[in-house]
Structure 1
Amino acid sequence: MALFPKTFTALALAASFAMPLPALALDDAQKKEFGEFIKEYLIQNPEIMLDVQDALQKKQEEARLVKANQVISENSKSIFDAKDDISIGNPKGDVTIVEFFDYNCGYCRHALSDMQTMLKKDKNVRFVLKEFPILGPESVAAHKVSDAFRKLAPEKYKQFHLALLGGEGRADEDSAMEVASSLGVNEKQIRDEMAKSPDTGSVQNAYDLAQKLGISGTPSYVIGNELVQGAVGFDDLEAKVKNMRTCGKTSC
């Protein structure tokens, strides 16, 4: 964990004393003496610097959540009901989980079982899959094949998604084509569709939303009023879904 520069920490500590005298009331000698006192105190109590770091991180996280909540409210339709996104599970489910993912994200592959367990255990959840290729040209190439497949065979998209994300090695154009062919959509069909309607809308929408939400990696989820970043695991996702049903928020 990175520590703050001593000057910054000293100023933060000085402010916490809430001294009645303004800084300008101290002469140079008093300022020097006070600075030496702070320095000595911090050296004797270095854990304070960690406390300051923790407090700042907590404050930044609270600000991030407030901002994300506002963005979710203002962009609800684009997040939960974008026309180009595919949803799996119960299309009329009472709770929707939106997942931003990349086909080459190792954590997304790990989280794949969380989604499958959720859909198996809870028949009233709707999962929206938002492709967010950010891990290089291979991810973008795989996404383009996926987008063409989605347009040609939307009813098989879940199978495509599970096969490609759950496959071995890196996902790229070739591996995505192989999965598409195994599901009955051949390479010529895919390439014709890619030429006819090259994807720009859905992925640009994902990039724009991610920037507004402050998403820094995959997987990232939107559940109700909350942005959840990282492969948090099935138990955490299930708890948030239950809270949505109990109080309309992910935390009751």
Structure 2
Amino acid sequence: MLFSGLALLFATGLLDSARPVPSSFDAQVRQYLLQNPEIVVESLQRLENRRQLADANELQTLIAERRDDIFNDAAAPTAGNPEGDVALVEFFDYNCPYCRKAAPDIQQAVEDDPNLKLVFKEWPILGPGSEFAARAALASHKQGKYEAFHHALMGFSGRVSESSTLTIAGDVGLDVEQLKRDMEDPAIADAIARNRALANDLRITGTPTFVVGDEIIRGLVDLATLQRFITDAREKPEG
């Protein structure tokens, strides 16, 4: 405990590492730590805070470096204002229950904000049904029905599978046979692969995950929280 306690105190700046440590000091520190265990807790918290700050700074740098991949990938469907001053990016899976819960709030955020651009990142992580639905959704873009198809898939109450995806496609007016052919376009598989690589680079591990400005929002949040992040991104100068 002594050495770990000393290391924590030095690492967090509670002790000066350049100062000579007399032999009697070891016993004094040990006794002090035993009598004041909250010092160790405080030291651990300081280290954790530093780690979190370093991780956040690293991710903000990465977002800046990958800005075009995140916000301006031509293969990623969009909604809202394509020339909006703020872009909200969502990584999602059609079989993710939290993505489905988030969908109405995302739509409301777009309706409430005429200067918001919404970027869809198809990221199927929940099995073959999700993969098929993501490919079908991207293929529907060629028929000009991506947004309607996306909302219908998100509004589906059951497990999205190959058969349910095609049924929903027909319900929203897509030419299903054309859709199947368009799904074979290698560009669709490439777009999904790029989303997977980007999610990995950004250390995204679950859905839904949002990127707005230089912030990553992990998990389901309510409309007010989402709008606050959008406002913060709008008020923060670029660069």
- Asked if these proteins are the same fold (TM beyond 0.5), I'd say yes
Partner residue, 1:204: 193
The Cα shift of 1:34 comes to 5.4
Cα distance in 2, alignment partners of residues 140 and 60 from structure 1: 35
More deviation, 137-146/96-105: 137-146
Partner residue, 1:17: 15
Is this contact kept in 2: 1:217–1:230, CA < 8 A? yes
- Residue by residue, what CA displacement relative to the aligned partner does 1:37-71 show, whole Å, maximum 9, x if unpaired? 266236xx3x5554344333322221222111111
Partner residue, 2:130: 139
Q: 2:159 aligns with which of 166, 170, 187?
A: 170
Is this contact kept in 2: 1:142–1:171, CA < 8 A? yes
Q: Percent identity?
A: 31
Q: 1:222 aligns with which of 208, 211, 219?
A: 211
Shift in alpha-carbon separation, 1:57–1:164, aligned structure 2, 3 A: farther
Partner residue, 2:110: 119
Gaps (5+ residues) in structure 2? Answer: none
The Cα shift of 1:83 comes to 1.2
Paired residue secondary structure (1:129): strand
| Count, aligned residues | 235
More deviation, 127-136/9-18: 9-18
TM-score with structure 1 setting the length? 0.81
Partner residue, 2:99: 108
Is this contact kept in 1: 2:93–2:126, CA < 8 A? yes
Partner residue, 2:80: 89
Is this contact kept in 1: 2:214–2:233, CA < 8 A? no
Is this contact kept in 1: 2:5–2:33, CA < 8 A? no
Partner residue, 2:23: 26
Shift in alpha-carbon separation, 1:193–1:61, aligned structure 2, 3 A: same
Amino acid aligned to 1:21: P
Cα distance in 2, alignment partners of residues 130 and 156 from structure 1: 16
Amino acid aligned to 1:11: A
More deviation, 130-139/12-21: 12-21
TM-score with structure 2 setting the length? 0.85
Gaps (5+ residues) in structure 1? Answer: none
Runs of 4+ in structure 1 off by over 6 angstroms are: none
Amino acid aligned to 1:93: G
The Cα shift of 1:128 comes to 0.5
1:240 aligns with 2:229: yes
Cα distance in 2, alignment partners of residues 56 and 14 from structure 1: 11
- RMSD of the TM alignment (CA)? 2.6
Cα distance in 2, alignment partners of residues 179 and 196 from structure 1: 21
Shift in alpha-carbon separation, 1:35–1:214, aligned structure 2, 3 A: same
- Residue by residue, what CA displacement relative to the aligned partner does 1:198-241 show, whole Å, maximum 9, x if unpaired? 63221111112112212122211111122222222211221222
Partner residue, 2:35: 41
